Chains A and B, each alone.
Chain A
Amino acid sequence: IELTQSPGTLSLSPGERATLSCRASQSVSSNYLAWYQQKPGQAPRLLIYGASSRATGIPDRFSGSGSGTDFTLTISRLEPEDSAVYYCQQFGDSPRFTFGPGTKVDIK
């Protein structure tokens, strides 16, 4: 299963809403879809698992939704520290984990 993410880059202002898309080449169980945030020089950070469950300590301005082949990460009110690359990930039989190419979010 291949994952594509759009847009490649998103440039928004603080307080705006960001909508990031992740599309799978085949249907994916919602249980198996996760989202990560990666800031420059840092390790990825798990944001969302099971398509819509927030990981521990993740602010509620981050939300995930979707099913089948189309999934969305929404950041409801952007803050400057949300500047990062966001990756979606699906869990499968082989390979175990596949990541999308990422969406870069720039906060103007």
Chain B
Amino acid sequence: EVQVVESGGGLVQPGGSLRLSCIASGFTFVDRHMDWVRQAPGKGLEWVGRINNKGQGYTTEYAASVKGRFTASRDDSKSSVYLQMNSLKTEDTALYFCTSDSGYWSLDYWGQGTLVTVSS
């Protein structure tokens, strides 16, 4: 059974930092590029960033809205990915989903999300 579980969300003041974690099981994690997608309250889906697999050199990619502030990383030995979020803004408030690239230019396995609230 596939499981993707995010953690680490919470309330943080503007300018603060937060580190999200995601642990996956039930699929070959090491082969997958892993992505973060967020959803602001009552809004649609926004891709945040990704960390590619070892074959792609663990390279990272980000949306323009978070580039320079967010950093994705992974630990294949723990089947885990992380999202370090710095210089948080109120507009970063959202439910953050961890998800995997299916290999067919789509996202197949999703966690239930972890809520990040940026507010003073």
* Size bracket of the B interface: 20 to 34
- Does any Cβ of B come within 8 Å of A101's Cβ? yes
Interface secondary structure of B, over-half rule? strand
Between A and B, 29 residue pairs with Cβ closer than 8 Å are A31-B104, A32-B105, A34-B105, A38-B45, A43-B97, A43-B99, A43-B111, A43-B112, A43-B113, A44-B37, A44-B45, A44-B110, A45-B110, A46-B102, A46-B107, A46-B108, A53-B104, A87-B44, A87-B45, A89-B45, A89-B106, A94-B61, A95-B47, A96-B35, A97-B35, A97-B37, A99-B47, A101-B44, A102-B44
Q: Give A residues with C-beta under 8 Å from B.
A: 31-32, 34, 36, 38, 42-46, 49-50, 53, 55-56, 87, 89, 91, 94-102
